[in-house]
Structure 1
């Protein structure tokens, strides 16, 4: 379903009018976002932020990604786009977040902002989007700042000034519907089913809940994530905020890539201990087996869409501030003209966040977790008018509701030799980024 402020039925179909121009500078990006409804996609300080909302596409159920992709394609085909920059993230784009499960009560969304501000490879730009029907044009670029600046061919836009840095809001998190003891029991039951041959791996998550009282806190929270975890995808879409290390899929002019993560270890207390932890992870048979299942799942889903797909010969250790991951990069060339949303639909959910076999694992986690994941572990990212885009798995994240309720999520891959207490401790490590980002 597409939501806009367009005229009533019977009027001409609305058309998006999109203008992208280069500007001298847009850094810093996060302080220019709307603190109450931030739209953010950044890594290493580069990416895009959005302000305002021209329209949104909402979907749900088993066909939520397919339905959103079809609606987006129709909008993009009809759009009037003038892109003077031509980089990933310029022109017409939508920020998106999809529910993890087919039966989830959470709505999946694609949001087209009124104003996009971006930077990549040392270049900066702004994109203004308006909704046009006949002679009517709506959706003036939002935001506060200096009077409009003419940057070319009558293109006038007000780039918001960066807001002053504010104190991070404090959210006190407590266990959600599944307390720690119940989580350990669920892990033990999952191991029993794996040992019985019912499945090979299942990913079990838990949640923490809290209340956000400060109105202007989200910008500071996102900045904390970007500062502490610069090598992750830092995102904010429709209240879903996080810093994900895992690339679900990236499509850029026929090239496709992904990063698969599975297998985790805490960082060491000192340099020698830290190095030992990384080496131990790389040689852990449990973690390598778990990782191999996740890689095989991603390759199986991507390969039919590619003319060539290469994987890292061996998993490598990815260093994050609070933990180590085993990682494998996939790179290839598309062979069937798929868009990024087509590939998102093909690969989600991966074994890294669901388990394997997929159908059995999904049924097991739905039964054992005891809550609706919402958009946690679902696809989050952006798509452009040509169908290219960057999508991560929504990890190390929290959903902020309109009522101020904050729900944080973390999960672990359970295999035959998983130990419940160890898996609980791993979720605590994975909660750390979002707890600290909310002042914990």
Structure 2
């Protein structure tokens, strides 16, 4: 990775292109500080330039990334390790101008991966690679202090730097000046539970299997299919998620007229300035209709032995998974409540100092899938899900997030999510099945977990 100082994008392009053979290519990235930019206006503007869009927002950290266009896409059939290797190869050959080095600037990528790469793919996820990171042409970072715009292009020795600079300048002027128009929610004209009776039977079958095997828990997911009166506006959906889920990670990723979108409360891992943070979010209760009822439900959750044991199991799993990457680990003795609009969870942060020689992908490989999304023991649970679950999860329940050229990054577990396809949407939700689980109760729990996405889409 070559760092360039005191340059303009035009002079950087000229210098790089002159030193390339006609058949060679290289990524060139240029970051500058901007006046305040509304990330949703910027996101909507990309639609009118026919650019595939990506979005990440950590609401609690006041940190938003908006990616437009595709300078380079990194994929890997060999899993997370292959993604890590290919990402580093790209960075090694890149030229970067970035005097700020703020997390999310320089060359940054947004992407996700399959929950289970060995699960046969259905038509639903045809557009998505099993592991993919996209480096946008335009990446906007908006944090609590400022806005930054990173422009990244792949150039060859045959390219004309003046022409590239002209195109990028015209596009940038359009993007930063665009004012999005108000959008309306479309009307749901059909709502279909996918194989509800078969799903309940699967829960019953699973309880019997758990009673007779070494499995303790299996997380089973299902799909709700919606049809709308018109095409769904992604910008409107993001705006409503930001307003209704103020303690979540808001994300979206467009691919070939499809958009994977959601608001998840569950961080998998964050690395910033060599500090690592993972969190356990396991144990769930509904929110109360009154303040007293809400407090009582929260109190019961904090003192429920079953939920506390399951929560502690996940905390210890996280500790064991990341201790080889960290020193000075810090884990609270007891969980606290993490309240969302529709649900409240038991929450425990796990922190440590990230050691040199590792990347965020090493941690992802260790942590995914968590017991909260797979089951216990993990390997046996995933094998069971692969064989019996009625749903192709695709990117649902898997790591989704971002990484930059300075080894900063953050990935969340992509739950409370859906796949939008024009005027249709598939929503996904799961629950942990144990030997005493009641199929109807589990079915109702997934209905509650559909609500964050269902509500913002007009359900």
TM over 0.5: same fold?
yes
Q: Which has the higher helix share?
A: 2
Report the secondary structure of 1:370's partner residue: coil
Of residues 255, 274, 287 in structure 2, which corresponds to 1:254? Answer: 274
2:233 and 2:261 mapped to 1: Cα distance? 12
Report the secondary structure of 1:166's partner residue: coil
Question: What's the CA shift for 1:112?
Answer: 0.9
Alignment of 1:47-196 (within 5 A): 47-60=64-77, 63-104=78-119, 105=121, 106=125, 107=129, 108-134=131-157, 136=159, 140-141=167-168, 146=173, 159-172=176-189, 174-175=191-192, 177-179=194-196, 181-196=197-212
Which range is displaced more, 11-20 or 382-391? 11-20
Question: What's the CA shift for 1:213?
Answer: 6.1
Matched, 1:295 2:347: no
Identify the residue that residue 266 of structure 1 maps to in structure 2.
286
Determine if contact 1:262/1:352 at 8 Å carries over to the other structure. Answer: yes
Q: Deviations over 1:236-285 (max 9, x none)?
A: 12321000100111111211101221111111110000000111111112
Report the secondary structure of 2:176's partner residue: coil
2:190 and 2:407 mapped to 1: Cα distance? 38
Report the secondary structure of 1:230's partner residue: coil
TM-score normalised by the chain length of structure 2: 0.85
Change (3 A) 1:391 1:144: same
Identify the residue that residue 420 of structure 1 maps to in structure 2.
439
Identify the residue that residue 39 of structure 2 maps to in structure 1.
29
Of residues 363, 369, 383 in structure 2, which corresponds to 1:363? Answer: 383
Identify the residue that residue 155 of structure 1 maps to in structure 2.
none
TM-score normalised by the chain length of structure 1: 0.88
Q: Deviations over 1:359-380 (max 9, x none)?
A: 1100122233212111100110
Determine if contact 1:177/1:371 at 8 Å carries over to the other structure. Answer: no
Report how many aligned residue pairs link the two structures: 417
Question: What's the CA shift for 1:423?
Answer: 1.5
Change (3 A) 1:261 1:47: same
Change (3 A) 1:220 1:115: same
1:205 and 1:406 mapped to 2: Cα distance? 16
Report the secondary structure of 1:183's partner residue: helix
2:236 and 2:374 mapped to 1: Cα distance? 31
Matched, 1:304 2:324: yes
Which range is displaced more, 272-281 or 215-224? 215-224
Question: What's the CA shift for 1:82?
Answer: 1.3
Question: What's the CA shift for 1:292?
Answer: 2.1
2:39 and 2:224 mapped to 1: Cα distance? 29
